[in-house]
Amino acid sequence: MTPWSLIALLAGLASVNAENLAPKIIIAHRGASGYLPEHTLPGKALAHAMGADYLEQDLVLSQDGIPVVLHDIVIDTVTDVAKRFPERKRADGRYYALDFTLAELKQLQVTERFDPRTGKPVFPARFPLGQATFQIPTFEEELQFIQGLNRTTGREAGIYPEIKSPAWHREQRQDISRIVLQILERYGYRTKSDKVFLQCFDYQEVKRLRTELGYQGRLIQLLADPKASQAGTDFAFLTSRAGLAELAKVADGIGPSLAQVISGKSGEGFTFTDLVKTAHEFKLQVHPYTIRTDDLPSGVTSGEQLFRACLVEAGVDGVFTDQPDRGVAFLRTLVVRK
3-state helix, strand, coil in the chain (%, to 5): 35, 20, 45
Q: Shortest gap between Cβ of 56 and Ca ion (angstroms)? A: 6
Q: Measured over all CA atoms, what is the biggest interatomic distance in the chain, rounded to whole angstroms?
A: 70
**Based on CB atoms, which residue is closest to Ca ion, 57 or 293?**
57
Q: Could you tell me how far CA 240 lies from the centroid of its own chain? A: 22
Strand ranges for the chain from DSSP E: 25-28, 54-61, 67-69, 158-163, 197-200, 218-222, 253-255, 262-266, 269-272, 285-286, 318-321
Q: Shortest gap between Cβ of 162 and Ca ion (angstroms)? A: 4
If one counts every other C-beta atom within 10 angstroms of the C-beta of residue 29, the result is: 28
Q: Shortest gap between Cβ of 41 and Ca ion (angstroms)? A: 17
| 162 belongs to the binding site for Ca ion (CB under 5 A) | yes
| 99 belongs to the binding site for Ca ion (CB under 5 A) | no
Give me the catalytic one of 29, 39, 48, 169: 29
Q: Would residue 169 show up in a list of annotated catalytic residues for this protein?
A: no
**Based on CB atoms, which residue is closest to Ca ion, 287 or 326?**
287
The Cα angle at residue 71 between residues 153 and 73, in degrees rounded to 5: 140
**Based on CB atoms, which residue is closest to Ca ion, 39 or 195?**
39
**Based on CB atoms, which residue is closest to Ca ion, 38 or 112?**
38
Stretch that binds Ca ion, among 7-15, 125-133, 142-150, 160-168 (CB under 5 A): 160-168
Q: Would residue 287 show up in a list of annotated catalytic residues for this protein?
A: no
Residue 184: which residues within 8 A CB-CB, separation 6 or more?
A: 161, 190, 196, 198, 215, 217
| 76 belongs to the binding site for Ca ion (CB under 5 A) | no
Give me the catalytic one of 48, 71, 169, 287: 71
If one counts every other C-beta atom within 10 angstroms of the C-beta of residue 22, the result is: 12
Q: Shortest gap between Cβ of 221 and Ca ion (angstroms)? A: 13
Q: Count residues near Ca ion (CB under 5 A).
A: 2
If one counts every other C-beta atom within 10 angstroms of the C-beta of residue 313, the result is: 19
**Based on CB atoms, which residue is closest to Ca ion, 58 or 325?**
58
Under rule CB under 5 A, which residues in 45-74 are in contact with Ca ion?
Answer: 58
The answer to whether residues 98 and 61 touch, using CB atoms and an 8 Å cutoff, is yes
Binding residues for Ca ion, rule: CB under 5 A, are 58, 162
Q: Which residues are catalytic?
A: 29, 71
